[in-house]
Structure 1
């Protein structure tokens, strides 16, 4: 039964996620200003912009980790009650999120980290979860680390386990917040390749990243933010080849590898 604050108007053609006139402030500082967008099922939306533009704050609002001061968030045709922790606790099984800091439990093995949510939160049979976990670990080539502890893994391995843990909840939407930012360069590739495979399988994703080549390959749509405002929204190919705004063009030039000619 939905909370009385929630409204459901589901139909097959609606976006998986809709954000309308979202506002977020920290005291007098408005971080997100009248942000509106839709995400369709199977779509990969990449959020780009300079540091402090509001990208990470926005993605945290979409998982209920930040309270909002105005606007609406709709998921699967249901309006999410503003800042209702009870509602967000239920939705986090369907809206998975992976952070740059892994957030694995250091005192639990890889297997226990992955099993915890599906068995304790979703109350799914342990045998069913174990079978899915084995398939996911095989997919990311980490089967041999099933009984290892996080301290025994490299940064790239820990981040792939964090993705597997989120996928084990069978989410309909995955949020990625700068998941390679804290990795050594040689470990970045294995995480990005995993995310590319998810995109090819039509996993609905919203991705915050500074990896421009990866963003170019994965993005169905790019949303460029600055100072909490959406300055530009384009199909991925068009954004990278023909940005509409001078600010986006300058941003892309600033992110080009050293030595590249404009």
Structure 2
């Protein structure tokens, strides 16, 4: 594990995100226990593990949506003051996050949902934001829905719009928390293909997913968690072909299609 922690340092490249000895508790229940890792620019880190292992809690800590009880989060070389909402409000313009529940404003059109953050939070000119929005919508093949309301979109379309909304803030890091979990199976593919394109464009990403084939294709690094502890950290190719722990092997077996040998 220590070797993996120092991967970016060994390459002479400061991590975009560095987490050290992170602890998170709900009352007496410790959900994350001494979690440490780095994410370098352009890397895709996939978090895997059984339900309740701490994956979603961890990714929410990395956007200031959960308070922490100990440890350090460092972004672009600067320590984020522990549980400082003021600091996190600023950083959320650089760390985008997409949830499984879309979280689009139902009373706003697609365009207004996308414009809101860049124009109100970043104070960017509307004309500049609209030009970028048109490019992004064209990229996800949803230009015709610019003036539609969320209720008029399918689940997959809503999720792609949620991703576009996050990208319109020009984040340096994107966090994805089970973004396909609430989608019908036929809608999952279009969202995963968009995320694959982002990875090929070297977008720095941390992804929580149960889509194993997608994880295999997209992951530079896999972190396998259980009970709030990192049990295993490997390159994506090594994890899926030769997991180090029995627990990870059993997890991968349990996620294989029925009848797969």
Q: TM-score range by the shorter chain?
A: over 0.9
Q: Secondary structure, in 3 states, of the residue corresponding to 2:174? A: strand
Matched, 1:75 2:78: no
| 2:138 aligned partner | 138
Matched, 1:148 2:148: yes
Q: Secondary structure, in 3 states, of the residue corresponding to 1:223? A: strand
| 1:41 aligned partner | 41
| 1:116 aligned partner | 116
Q: C-alpha deviations, 1:202-250, integer Å up to 9, x for none?
A: 0000000000000000000000000000000000000000000000000
In 2, Cα distance between equivalents of 1:204 and 1:158:
22
Q: Which runs of 4+ in 1 moved over 3 A?
A: none
Q: 1:46 Cα deviation (Å)?
A: 0.1
Q: Secondary structure, in 3 states, of the residue corresponding to 2:23? A: strand
The aligned length equals: 250
In 1, Cα distance between equivalents of 2:258 and 2:138:
37
| 1:183 aligned partner | 183
Q: Secondary structure, in 3 states, of the residue corresponding to 1:37? A: strand
| 2:236 aligned partner | 236
Q: How does 1:1-262 map to 2 (within 5 A)?
A: 13-261=13-261
Q: Secondary structure, in 3 states, of the residue corresponding to 1:56? A: helix
Q: 1:139 Cα deviation (Å)?
A: 0.1
Q: C-alpha deviations, 1:67-126, integer Å up to 9, x for none?
A: 000000000000000000000000000000000000000000000000000000000000
Q: Secondary structure, in 3 states, of the residue corresponding to 1:129? A: helix
Q: Secondary structure, in 3 states, of the residue corresponding to 2:231? A: strand
Q: 1:13 Cα deviation (Å)?
A: 2.1
Q: Secondary structure, in 3 states, of the residue corresponding to 2:196? A: helix
Query: Over the residues paired in the alignment, what is the CA RMSD in angstroms?
Result: 0.5
In 1, Cα distance between equivalents of 2:174 and 2:254:
28
In 1, Cα distance between equivalents of 2:14 and 2:241:
29
State TM-score, norm by structure 2. 0.95
Q: 1:17 Cα deviation (Å)?
A: 0.1
In 1, Cα distance between equivalents of 2:181 and 2:258:
19
In 2, Cα distance between equivalents of 1:108 and 1:18:
36
In 2, Cα distance between equivalents of 1:78 and 1:167:
23
In 2, Cα distance between equivalents of 1:259 and 1:191:
27
State TM-score, norm by structure 1. 0.95
| 2:8 aligned partner | none
